[in-house]
Amino acid sequence: MDEPVSRQSAMPPPGRIGEVLQRAAELYHRSLVERSAGRELLRHLGLCDEALIERHSIGFCDGSLLRALPTRGPVRGELHAVGLITVAEDRPPVERFDGALTFPVCDIDGTTAGMYAESGRPGEFTAALPDLPRPVWNAPVAKRCAEVLVTASILDALALERAGVHNVAAAPAPVPESELVYLEDLGTRCVLLGSEVSEAQAAGPEPSSRLRIHLPGRLRPLEFLARHGADALSRAVREALERTRTGPQAPDGDLTLRCGRRVYTVYGLSKGPGHLRATVRAEQHGRLHVDTLNLYRASLRRRLCSDLTRLFDEAPEIIDADIAKLVLACEDREPEGHRNAAVPAAMSAEERAAAEAFPS
């Protein structure tokens, strides 16, 4: 017979809380990988993608956590204390997130600090553990992106990732305002996507300091993905940002080249025998790289390709093709100084006669 769980279990110390959550997240993840129910739910939502599943350790709560627990020992009490299992009068313990997808939440340094769950049912949003902090989901993205799109639902954030928009995070209500301020203190600009993100979060450190964007029809990203597909969702996000962006923009360069979701801007173009020098600014949904190089040097092009492949999480052949297009565009472009050089005015007949008559 299972050992009863006290409804007044003591909260484990902070270090142990992270261990308990991590172990539970690993078990939920294994349940999703090894059984069909969780994958079927992801497939129904259009999010059954191996890279997403592994990147975010997505799991599925199907009762296997309770079945795997030892009948004796402190573990059940710890799980109850952190909120993963609940105990009601005269009823056996149950798992709080039963039948839902689970998402471990890491702090900015990658340490497990919480857990969220979503059922995927219409009208239902993210469930959280009641007695633990509620950090922003996918907060570590702020360490590598200058701008982060914040949704109210993790499923919406995953839909954006499916569309190639990787600078995403989720702030399920009621995430404390301080969590978003913390990301902004790291130098990241938080852009709220959708009306579901709470007004308290929209207020920001100062009134109206955060930009809010909407997709066409005010659809959630998950709905937009299901109706229109990944490419259309990526394009809609980019266009929404371009329409409403109010912050300082990059100055106009010698040329701008768009390759899918990637935007290349060239500054200080200099052409000559054996050299094609420029400063290249590459950006994709908040991920930014700037490099100054001679585009005719194969070794420097390879280095740029390697850097952008890692940053944008794209195949090397795709980035290599981008760079080839960039070289051709630069070759066809006249440098700024040449374009602005004054063109001598044509000499009038009177001026020509006066010049010819001038004593030599």
Q: What are the structural domain ranges in the chain?
A: 1-133, 136-249, 255-340
> CA-CA distance, 213 to 191, in Å (whole number)?
7
> Does residue 93 carry a pLDDT above 90?
no
Give every CB contact of residue 214 below 8 A, 6+ residues apart in sequence: 193, 194, 195, 240
> CA-CA distance, 133 to 174, in Å (whole number)?
10
> CA-CA distance, 320 to 159, in Å (whole number)?
27
Element (H, E) at 325: helix 316-332
Which CATH architecture describes the domain 136-249?
3-Layer(aba) Sandwich (3.40)
What pLDDT digit, counting tens, does each position of 149-189 carry? 999 999 999 999 999 999 999 998 777 888 888 888 776 78
What average pLDDT does this structure show over 319-343? 75
> Does residue 247 carry a pLDDT above 80?
no
pLDDT of residue 202: 54
Cis peptide before 359 (omega within 30 of 0): no
> CA-CA distance, 278 to 267, in Å (whole number)?
6
Token pair listed for 191: 């852009």
User: What is the DSSP track for 165-187?
Assistant: --SEEE--SS--HHHHHHHHHTT
Element (H, E) at 263: strand 262-272
pLDDT of residue 335: 65
Residue 95's closest CA among 127, 66, 132, 129?
A: 66
Token pair listed for 274: 């054996």
**Of the ranges 203-212, 267-276, 342-351, which is most confident?**
267-276
Which CATH architecture describes the domain 1-133?
Alpha-Beta Complex (3.90)
Residue 169's closest CA among 199, 196, 195, 147?
A: 147
Q: Which residues of 183-207 are buried (b: 16+ CB within 10 A; e: fewer)?
A: bbeeebbbbbbbebbbeebbebeee
pLDDT of residue 226: 96
What pLDDT digit, counting tens, does each position of 105-154 carry? 998 888 898 999 999 988 777 889 988 888 899 999 888 787 899 999 99
> Does residue 203 carry a pLDDT above 60?
no
- Strand, helix or coil at 96? coil
Report how many helices (DSSP H) and strands (DSSP E) the chain contains, helices first.
14, 14
Token pair listed for 5: 């769980």
Give every CB contact of residue 273 below 8 A, 6+ residues apart in sequence: none
pTM of the model: 0.69
Average pLDDT, the chain: 84
